[in-house]
Amino acid sequence: RDVLLEVQNLKTYYPVRGGFFKRTIGHVKAVDDVSFTIRKGETLGLVGESGCGKSTTGRTILRLLKPTDGQILFEGKEITKISGAKLQKARRDFQMVFQDPYASLNPTQMVGDIIAEPILNYEKRNKKELEQEIKSLLSKVGLPEAAYYKYAHEFSGGQRQRIGIARALALNPKLIVADEPVSALDVSVQSQVLNLLKELQIEFDLTYLFIAHDLSVVKHMSDRIGVMYLGNLVEVASNRDLYKEPLHPYTQALISAIPEPNTAIKKERIVLEGDVPSPQNPPTGCPFHTRCPMAMEVCSKEKPPLKEVRPGHHVACVLY
Ligand code: SF4
Ligand code: MG
């Protein structure tokens, strides 16, 4: 299938200010080197511990943040540095579903108006027609049409996330970045929302970048998965290959920590020593070398590039 999004050597740094004059005294290297592609209709999962740069990656490719370096191509067109009207026009095609459906919905607006807002930013519409369209969207996300006249606080967490999804769908986008869309929800409703996202993907011909720290959620949702550590993408593989044969020592440790429901198969858990280093002062060489059980001398000197070591399986590690 065609490539929808291509990201090359993306870097997003935040300035750190300090001292009396609030001068820039350093940078948080939130995204330090990330390259991947997403094909039309697929779901790329992005996984890693909190603070590894997943959300910043998602926000940067939607151009809610300005990249420091690298390239973002959407349908072959460069969107890395566009701004103003050009960016506004491009944004129709990509939307975000946020982690916290409470914080992302305006409590003073009627649900119908929340969903109409992105549409009215782009088009003049007949009021009755628009109302009908939004009601049909509400039923597609599993809410009653009467939800149109209510306020976000009148709904449960899972229902609020359905409203957030309806709003993201309002402009009929091509790409949706879902940033931990179920991690704020009760476990009992998580799978309902995940399954809804899967159904909508087919119905609306959507492509997803699906961000989560929970490996079982990512496994349930993704065709391919990228693993991030300290602002770097360290491994990308198909869902099956990543869980069956993780290559990067960090991925191996993450996967070894998934509780195994079948106690007959006992995997050995790899426990990582130490903490994730500060993204303001990341280690030289391989970003993982301070914690890697396989680290060698060369690992602190040279940063291994992400390379394809088996068909479709990319890893950034000197062992391969
Ligand atoms: Fe470990 Fe070295 Fe591979 Fe980094 S490059 S993951 S430190 S073995
Ligand atoms: Mg996050």
* 102-160 per-position pLDDT tens digit: 788 888 899 999 999 999 999 999 999 999 999 999 999 999 999 999 999 999 999 99
Looking at the chain, the domain(s) classified CATH 3.40.50.300 span 3-222
Q: Which ligand 1 atom is nearest residue 286's CA?
A: 4
Give SS3 for 196.
helix
Q: Which ligand 1 atom is nearest residue 300's CA?
A: 7
Q: Identify which has the larger pLDDT, 217 or 265.
A: 217
Q: How many angstroms does the Cα of residue 210 sit away from the middle of ligand 2?
A: 11
Q: Which ligand 1 atom is nearest residue 292's CA?
A: 1
48 Cβ contact partners less than 8 Å away, ≥ 6 residues apart: 54, 213, 227, 228, 229
Which of 7-21, 222-236, 241-255 has the weakest average pLDDT? Answer: 7-21
At 266 the pLDDT is 60
Check if 309 has its Cβ closer than 6 Å to any atom of ligand 1.
Answer: no
User: Best mutation site among 273, 276, 289, 306 for ligand 1, i.e. most ligand atoms within 8 A of its Cβ?
Assistant: 289
Q: How many angstroms does the Cα of residue 82 sit away from the middle of ligand 2?
A: 25
CATH superfamily of 3-222: P-loop containing nucleotide triphosphate hydrolases (3.40.50.300)
Per-residue pLDDT band for 257 (boundaries 50, 70, 90) equals: confident
Check if 295 has its Cβ closer than 6 Å to any atom of ligand 1.
Answer: yes
Give the global pTM. 0.94
Q: Which ligand 1 atom is nearest residue 304's CA?
A: 5
Q: Which ligand 1 atom is nearest residue 248's CA?
A: 6
User: Best mutation site among 294, 296, 302, 320 for ligand 1, i.e. most ligand atoms within 8 A of its Cβ?
Assistant: 294
At 144 the pLDDT is 97
Q: How many angstroms does the Cα of residue 273 sit away from the middle of ligand 1?
A: 14
Q: Is residue 263 predicted with pLDDT exceeding 60?
A: no
Q: Is residue 279 predicted with pLDDT exceeding 60?
A: yes
pLDDT average, residue stretch 226-239: 98
Residues 72-118 have pLDDT tens digits of 999 999 999 999 999 999 999 999 999 887 788 888 899 999 999 99
DSSP E strands, 93-220: 94-97, 175-179, 207-212
At 262 the pLDDT is 61
Distance CA 243, CA 17 (A): 41
User: Best mutation site among 232, 272, 288 for ligand 1, i.e. most ligand atoms within 8 A of its Cβ?
Assistant: 288
Distance CA 10, CA 80 (A): 9
Q: Is residue 291 predicted with pLDDT exceeding 90?
A: yes
User: What residues does 18 pair with on adjacent strands?
Assistant: 23
